[in-house]
């Protein structure tokens, strides 16, 4: 990823660059944690280090990089946000998700037509969000309140969607009928997160 990733981030992630504020109404020095989430990466130092340099953040910012995350990455970082904020009073966390799909691009296959689905559905991109507690509404503009974040494994979902590194790159495969998930399991998750009558 290296230099190519650094150049892409510099031109594509607009988080204030050389200015003293990341668009959150507070100085960048208020950021205590950086969580960088991406599909692929093998460089050392990692993408989190490069982003610290690009944004001129404090070198003492606590960093975490999560690799091999795909379409579920944003849900993953929101779940992490709840846990980090519970254990770090006053924390201000910058989450960045950066996706590169070039490694999954390959020619069509007569035996793996499902690989075309992922190439057709997904593309490159980046997103960022600041998560914290007790916002100062006189200077900050909170957009959402994170009430609950959970994770579960659906019964019978083994092999529904798989990803593997192969000589030609990353191969994504999906089983026939993988979208036919059990609604009852979704209902149970909603009940654990909110209440029994979650339609109200």
Q: Which residues are catalytic?
A: 71
Per-residue H/E/C for the chain? CHHHHHHHHHHHCCCCCCCCEECCCEEHHHCCEEEEEECCCCCCCCHHHHHHHHHCCCCCCEEEEECCCCCCHHHHHHHHHHHHHHHCCCCEEEEEEEECCHHHCCCCCCCCCHHHHHHHHCCCEEEEEEEECCCCCCCCCCCCCCCCCCCCCCCCCCCCEEEEEECCEEEEEECCCCCCCCHHHHHHHHHHHCCCCCCC
Which tokens is 28 given? 């960048």
- DSSP bridge pairs for 22: 26
């Amino acid at each position: 990823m290296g230099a190519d990733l650094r150049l892409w981030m510099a031109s594509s992630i607009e988080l204030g660059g050389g200015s003293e504020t990341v668009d959150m109404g507070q100085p960048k020095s208020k950021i205590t944690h950086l969580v960088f989430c991406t599909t692929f990466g093998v460089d050392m130092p990692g993408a989190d280090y490069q982003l610290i340099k690009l944004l001129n953040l404090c070198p003492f910012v606590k960093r975490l990089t999560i690799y091999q995350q795909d379409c579920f990455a944003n849900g993953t970082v929101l779940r992490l946000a709840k846990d980090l904020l519970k254990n770090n009073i006053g924390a201000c966390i910058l989450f960045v998700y950066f996706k590169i799909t070039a490694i999954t691009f390959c020619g069509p296959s007569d035996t793996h037509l499902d690989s075309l689905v992922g190439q057709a559905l997904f593309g490159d991109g980046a997103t960022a969000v600041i998560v914290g507690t007790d916002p100062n509404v006189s200077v900050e503009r909170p957009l959402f309140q994170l009430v609950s974040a959970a994770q579960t494994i659906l019964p019978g979902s083994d092999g529904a969607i798989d990803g593997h590194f192969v000589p030609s790159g990353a191969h994504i495969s999906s089983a026939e009928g993988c979208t036919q998930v059990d609604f009852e399991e979704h209902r149970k998750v909603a009940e654990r997160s909110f209440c029994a009558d979650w339609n109200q």
